[in-house]
Amino acid sequence: MSILILAEHDGKHIKQSTRQAVAAAGAWQLPIHLVVTGANSADIAREASEIASVAKVLHADAAHFEHPLAEDVAALLVQLGADYKVILSAHTAFSKSVLPRVAALLDVGMVSDAVSITAPATYVRPIYAGNVLSTVESSDAIQVVTIRATSFAAAAAGGSAEVATVSAPASSGLSRWIKEDKTVSDRPELSSARVVVSGGRSLAERFDELLEPLAHRFGGALGATRAAVDAGFAPNDIQVGQTGTIVAPELYFAIGISGAMQHLAGMKDSKIIVAINHDPDAPIFQHADFGLVANLFDAVPELTTALNQ
Amino acid sequence: MKVLVAVKHVVDYNIKPRVKPDGSDVDIAGVKLSINPFDEIAVEEAVRLKERGVATEVIAVTIGKTNSQDSLRHALAMGVDKAVLIETDVELQPLGVAKLLKYVVEREQPSLIILGKQAIDDDLGQTGQMLAALANVGQGTFASVIDIKGDEIEVTREIDGGTDVVALKLPAVVTTDLRLNEPRFIKLPNLMMAKKKPIETIKAADLGIDISPRLKQLKVADPEPRKPGIKVANVAELVEKLRLAEVL
């Protein structure tokens, strides 16, 4: 019996979260197989085969996998999955869509967003916006699991797995891809950035002007609260929190962020949290390693300047 | 067309949950419960479809204990036409819920089924996708815009790093992102009216559907608390502290 991991890539490279899923799969001490979907994706399959401790790469290359749809990827995983003990992936938008569909088709339950795994079937996962950790045991013959990528170190390179071609099932016809609109950014991906600089609504129109130079100083990513996103000061895809991206960088700047439960759920595992807020009673200060009570519009440029010296 | 929305009665999002002293579960006795925020967005979207003349009937369904009707009343007050409670004391998990919802889908034959993208208590985010799988229909997860075009629905989805758009053949399942809409406030007269509307109750046990839980909760615990931090006096001191922490 082996473990099947649904790999993710951006069309060029395997995502960091897939390497983290490979590391998480180490808990079972079973052979690890990666399934790579795509169109003209031989290079990506090769890259996947070079991840340490991957035993085999199953490469499903088909025109309709250029923009893989949940219905079609689920059908592929169901076709392959019956032979596996575990079907695993990182808890990303893609896998969150695909894996529950797979679980239902296999008539098994599913564990979402595990932060810790005790093989063969016990998991710790956050519930209630990360306010509680629940330990669950699964009774299903096939374990379908997504992991919280930030809770696991990434598997290194240095493997040389066999790449096997698998045939993709025909398109379901239930759905079709129309277009996508991805934010083009030269900054690191939010979920895997070493430093995240996040802002709240009070930054208003000066959100980018104040935060970008600070993020730039670290080669870090920008994040935002839901309020900042709703008010139109920051794009949706940088929302940090229970319903946005979960981050755990080495350094997290919470600037003008009060510290609502739903936001804390997305960043409280950061190694060092710095809060800058004018309100000394803001809840964020209870979670910050270093807090500065100050006017943001003065303090942030001053901090950026000081760090650049 | 007929629209079905599924709602869940959960601990209110403003309440910080407490772990029971014996660590067996979260203590929700006497805690305020309300409609799951994502499900409220689902109801709002369905009601808007009706107001635009796209939907002819909106049905809300919930599954759970008797008190789950409160969330159905909320949905009725928002403008839902009909409400169904599938009553059970069994601990519910997404696969079982999806199976019960599939029963309702087969009975009601809706063209569109809208669910929240996740419930804020278990944070699992599985039910919509599982229902779509069991009903063998397309799924549009994390929807921020929906647009019905003939026998298809176009769904703009919030994905990592941006959005994408998929077209689904109807019937289809859509799960709501926070951005889909802003749910309306309920006016008092609507609330009073909703109290008079009947709620159909079905006993889950009578349906012969296996909803037994697949995951067994062994224990719950508070997360490791962070070490208390310090307040710094000024930017210079902050820079100094960060330097000492070796994160610069």
User: Per the CB < 8 Å rule, is A237 touching B162?
Assistant: yes
pLDDT of res. A73: 98
Name A27's bridge partners.
Answer: none
Residue A125 has pLDDT above 90, yes or no: yes
Q: What's the mean pLDDT in A252-258?
A: 98
| Cα–Cα–Cα angle for A226, A227, A229, rounded to 5 degrees | 65
B104 contact partners, CB below 8 Å, separation of at least 6: B4, B59, B61, B84, B86
Average pLDDT over chain B, rounded to whole?
96
Q: Stretch A277-283: mean pLDDT, rounded?
A: 97
Q: Using alpha carbons, list the distances in angstroms from residue B104 to A161, B76, B131.
A: 47, 18, 11
Instruction: Say if residue B66's pLDDT is above 80.
Output: yes
pLDDT of residue B31: 96
**Model pLDDT for residues B92-147, shown as the tens digit of each residue:** 999 999 999 999 999 999 999 999 999 999 999 999 999 999 999 999 999 999 99
What is the full DSSP assignment across A193-261?
-SEEEEE-GGGGGGHHHHHHHHHHHHT-EEEE-HHHHHTTSS-GGGBBSTTSB----SEEEEES----H
In the predicted model, is pLDDT for residue A136 greater than 90? Answer: yes
Cα distance between residue A86 and residue A232, in whole Å: 41
pTM: 0.95
User: What pLDDT, on the 0 to 100 scale, is given for residue A243?
Assistant: 85
| Any B CB within 8 A of A186 CB | no
Contact A93 B13 (CB under 8 A): no
> In sequence order, what are the beta bridge partners of A127?
A132
A158: left (phi over 0), alpha (psi -120 to 50) or beta: left
Residue A9 DSSP one-character state? B
The domain over range A3-165 is classified in CATH as 3.40.930.10: no
Residues of chain A contacting residue B19, judged by C-beta atoms under 8 Å apart: 132
Evaluate if residue A183 carries a pLDDT over 90: no
Inter-helix orientation angle B69-78/B37-51, to 10°: 30
Contacts of B230 in chain A (CB under 8 A): 289-291
**Average confidence (pLDDT) over A265-288:** 96
Q: Is the pLDDT of residue A185 over 80?
A: no
Determine, for residues B118 and A243 on separate chains, whether the beta-carbon distance falls below 8 Å: yes
| Rounded-to-integer distance, Cα A203 and Cα B236, Å | 22
Q: Name the minimum distance, in Å, from the CA of B197 to any CA of chain A.
A: 32
Rounded mean pLDDT, B158-173: 95
CB contact under 8 A, A110 and B164: no
Q: How far apart are CA B78 and CA B72, in angstroms?
A: 10
Distance from CA of A196 to the nearest CA of B (A): 12
Partner residue opposite B19 with nearest CB, options A132, A181, A182: A132
* Average confidence (pLDDT) over B80-98: 97
pLDDT of residue A187: 83
Task: Note the pLDDT tens digit of each residue in A193-231.
Answer: 999 999 999 999 999 999 999 999 999 999 999 999 999
**B3-28 mean pLDDT:** 96
| Helix/strand/coil for A21 | helix
Domain chopping of chain A, boundaries: 3-165, 190-307
Question: Model confidence over A161-180: pLDDT tens digits?
Answer: 999 999 999 999 999 999 99
| A-B Cβ pairs (cutoff 8 Å, strict) | 244
Query: pLDDT band at A71, cuts 50/70/90?
Result: very high
* Region of residue A4 (left: phi > 0; alpha: psi -120 to 50; beta: else): beta
Query: Quick count: other Cβ atoms within 10 Å of Cβ A235?
Result: 16
The whole-angstrom distance between A23's CA and the closest CA on chain B is: 21
Report the pLDDT value the prediction gives residue A184, as an integer from 0 to 100.
75
Provide the pLDDT for residue B223. Answer: 93
Q: Does domain B2-244 have CATH number 3.40.50.620?
A: yes
How many angstroms separate the Cα of A81 from the Cα of each of A102, A143, B93, B180, B248? 9, 10, 22, 34, 45
Q: Are both A3-165 and A190-307 of the same fold?
A: yes
Tell me which of 3.40.600.10, 3.40.50.300, 3.40.50.1220, 1.10.533.10 is the CATH number of domain A190-307. Answer: 3.40.50.1220
> Vertex A113, ends A163 and A151: CA angle to 5°?
80
> Minimal Cα distance from A9: which residue of B?
B160
Contact A133 B222 (CB under 8 A): yes
DSSP track, B20-76: -TTSSSEE-TT--EEE-HHHHHHHHHHHHHHHTTS-SEEEEEEEESGGGHHHHHHHH
| Predicted confidence (pLDDT) per residue in A85-124, tens digit | 999 999 999 999 999 999 999 999 999 999 999 999 999 9
